[in-house]
Amino acid sequence: MAGRLTGRRAVVTGGAAGIGKAIAAAYLREEASVVIADIDAEIAQGTAEELSEFGTIFAIGCDVTSLAETRSMAAEAIDRLGGVNVLVNNAGLSGRGLITEIPEERIDALLAVNLKGVILCAQAFAQAMYDTGNAVMINMSSQAGKRGWPELSVYGATKAGVLGMNRALAVELAPHVRVNAICPGYISDVGMAWRGWEGRGDASEIGNKFARDNIPLQRLQSADDIANTAVFLASDEAREITGEAINVGGGVVTD
Site residues (CB under 6 A) for ligand NAD? 13-14, 16-20, 38-40, 62-65, 90-94, 113, 117, 140, 142, 184, 186-187, 190-191
Catalytic positions:
155
At its nearest, how many Å lie between ligand NAD and the CB of residue 13?
Answer: 6
Which DSSP string corresponds to the chain?
Answer: ---TTTT-EEEEETTTSHHHHHHHHHHHHTT-EEEEEES-HHHHHHHHHHHGGGS-EEEEE--TT-HHHHHHHHHHHHHHHTS--EEEE---------TTT--HHHHHHHIIIIIIHHHHHHHHHHHHHHHH-SEEEEEE--GGGTS--TT-HHHHHHHHHHHHHHHHHHHHTTTTEEEEEEEE--BSSS--GGGT-TTSS-HHHHHHHHHHHH-TT-S-B-HHHHHHHHHHHHSGGGTT--S-EEEESTTSS--
User: Which CB, 212 or 239, lies closer to ligand NAD?
Assistant: 212
CB of 44 vs ligand NAD, minimal distance in Å: 7
Q: Write down the least CB distance from residue 175 to ligand NAD, Å.
A: 27
Q: By C-beta, is 14 or 55 nearer to ligand NAD? A: 14
Residue closer to ligand NAD (CB basis): 18 or 55: 18
